[in-house]
Amino acid sequence: MQKIAVIGAGTMGNGIAHVFAQKGHKVNLIDISQDALDKGLQTITKNLDRMLAKEKITQDDKASTLQNIATFTSIKEGVTKVDVVIEAASEHLDIKLSIFKELDTLCSDDTILATNTSSISITQIAAATGRPDKVIGMHFMNPVPIMQLVEIIRGYNTSDKTTEQIMTLSTQLGKTPTEVNDYPGFVANRILMPMINEAIETLYNGVAGVAEIDTVMKLGMAHPMGPLQLADFIGLDVCLSILNVMYDGFKNPKYAPCPLLVNMVMAKKLGVKSGEGFYDYSESRKAEKVSDQFLR
């Protein structure tokens, strides 16, 4: 399984392309936007330069990693004769179903179709194809080059062979694959998102401020990053989408998104990606008041 296609050159997609290319795989990085592809390659180069500065890789390692990546704005051209396709597009069901339906017609019968979805049903995605036994979840964590976990999600019809192949492939990347079953949010986000949502509720109810909530969780619970800062890094729109998937899937009010989160997303305060969320990233300083306007 040497040739990989990655669909989506955003934060997760370029990170996935990076780790495969660094391990010697030929990677086709695909996005409908040439600008997104250029930015993705810039991010990969910047991350490789950081590793080079820390003497974790050599100049030759950097050069060979970049040489292993080819870019495409056409899915049809990018998925030709690949062993695995990993979809890392937007976390919207309709988009994913459309992509997988197209992939099923373009890819060879032996190609495994994986999705980096963090919450959407693998079984539902697989139903858009004629090869549900070869569809699987491959949920990388952000930032992909650093985080060790890959959550491997089996759909209802995912075969043992496909699961074993993806578990082995993940191990070869130097990651730790962990197999879970197909329920909304899987394991990682089923536990993480309610915690983040509760932190937002705590802010919304005026129990404490942004910095105070994050400090309690960092120093009291030994979390490397507070839940509000983590939400900013994930993207508040992504957090909202995941919570909605779980709420729709379980019909349990404990997964209902906090009104503060809903309002911030509507106001385009999405976290790091927009320069402003619970913190102000445009000035590289904490800004509890960024969210104050939504508490009134």
Catalytically active residues are 118, 139, 151, 189
Asked whether the bond before 143 is cis by omega within 30 degrees of 0, the reply is yes
**Helix, strand, or coil here: 247?**
helix
Task: Tell me: is residue 10 an annotated ligand-binding position.
Answer: yes
Task: Tell me: is residue 174 an annotated ligand-binding position.
Answer: no
Task: Tell me: is residue 292 an annotated ligand-binding position.
Answer: no
* Residue 1: closest CA among 114, 131, 157, 95: 114
Task: Tell me: is residue 96 an annotated ligand-binding position.
Answer: yes
Task: Tell me: is residue 263 an annotated ligand-binding position.
Answer: no
Task: Tell me: is residue 40 an annotated ligand-binding position.
Answer: no
Task: Tell me: is residue 142 an annotated ligand-binding position.
Answer: yes
- How far apart, in whole angstroms, are the C-alpha atoms of residue 139 and residue 243? 17
Task: Tell me: is residue 118 an annotated ligand-binding position.
Answer: yes
CB 9 within 8 A of CB 29: yes
CB 150 within 8 A of CB 117: no
- How far apart, in whole angstroms, are the C-alpha atoms of residue 10 and residue 180? 25
CB 111 within 8 A of CB 82: yes
Return the amino acid letter for 206. G
**β 149-154/84-87 pair status:** unpaired
Task: Tell me: is residue 63 an annotated ligand-binding position.
Answer: no
CA–CA distances in Å: residue 124 to residues 105, 136, 157, 166, 193: 17, 11, 10, 19, 21
CA–CA distances in Å: residue 184 to residues 1, 124, 212, 220, 244: 29, 11, 31, 29, 10
Task: Tell me: is residue 76 an annotated ligand-binding position.
Answer: no
Torsional sign, CA 271, 275, 280, 285? positive
CB 68 within 8 A of CB 27: yes
Binding site: what residues are annotated?
A: 8-13, 31, 91, 96, 118, 142, 273
Binding site for NAD(+): what residues are annotated?
A: 8-13, 31, 91, 96, 118, 142, 273
